[in-house]
A and B are shown apart, each in its own frame.
Chain A
Amino acid sequence: QSALTQPPSVSGSPGQSVTISCTGTNSDVGSYNRVSWYQQPPGTAPKLMIYEVTNRPSGVPDRFSGSKSGNTASLTISGLQAEDEADYYCSSYTSSIGWVFGEGTKLTVL
């Protein structure tokens, strides 16, 4: 099972919005609303930002939002802040093997 496809890097200036895409297939992202997003600053454990495509855990700012269209899920961060700089990973349930993560995207706040 290959990883879900994410752009290697994205960047934005403080206050701007950025969107990170996560492309899978109709065996995973396209068929199940079980997409999650994680933020991972260097040297730390991942933190759940979005689950079940659009749900935000308590404590996650509403600047973070998730969506899905077809086989592609997206994470949008609005009002970008310096503290948002981190690696971001998507994950999805897949009918074939269980769960799969994305390749990861490095977000740089300029």
Chain B
Amino acid sequence: QVQLVQSGAEMKRPGASVKVSCKASGYPFTSHAIHWVRQAPGQRLEWMGWINVGNGNTKYSQKLQDRVTITRDTSASIAYMDLSSLRFEDTAVYYCARVVGFGGLDYWGQGTLVTVSS
């Protein structure tokens, strides 16, 4: 069965970087794009960016494009999201999700809580 399993919770200082992994199984990894979405406590979902897993092309939200990098390792079926220069407002649950069709996210990781605290 399709599964996306994310790395564990992280606590970081302001200004640091965090890298969250998303290991896919149960389907051909390169056949579906991966999106990253975050949700601050009590807030709405926020789209961060996506990667075409087949060719590695990426697109990022304008708000985060200077600080976020999405990559993948096709040999290990893992996607990564790297967020730099962390701020208190980056405290959120970070999700990876697989795309079906034109933009529907049909399978989601369990979420990774990233806490930015001094």
Contacts and interface: CB of A to CB of B under 8 A. Distances in A.
Interface stretch (B7-15, B59-67, B76-84): B59-67
Determine the interface band of chain B, counting residues with CB < 8 A from chain A.
20 to 34
A13 to B, nearest CB: 26
A102 B44 contact: yes
A64 interface: no
B47 A91 contact: yes
Given A57-B100, A98-B59, A48 B106 contact: yes
B105 interface: yes
A3 B44 contact: yes
Interface of A: 1, 3, 32-34, 36, 38, 40, 45-48, 50-52, 55, 57, 89, 91-93, 96-104
Interface of B: 35, 37, 44-47, 49-50, 59-63, 95, 97, 100-106, 108-111
Enumerate the 10 nearest inter-chain pairs by beta-carbon distance, A residue then B residue, closest first. A51-B104, A45-B108, A99-B47, A101-B45, A34-B102, A34-B103, A104-B44, A36-B104, A98-B59, A48-B106
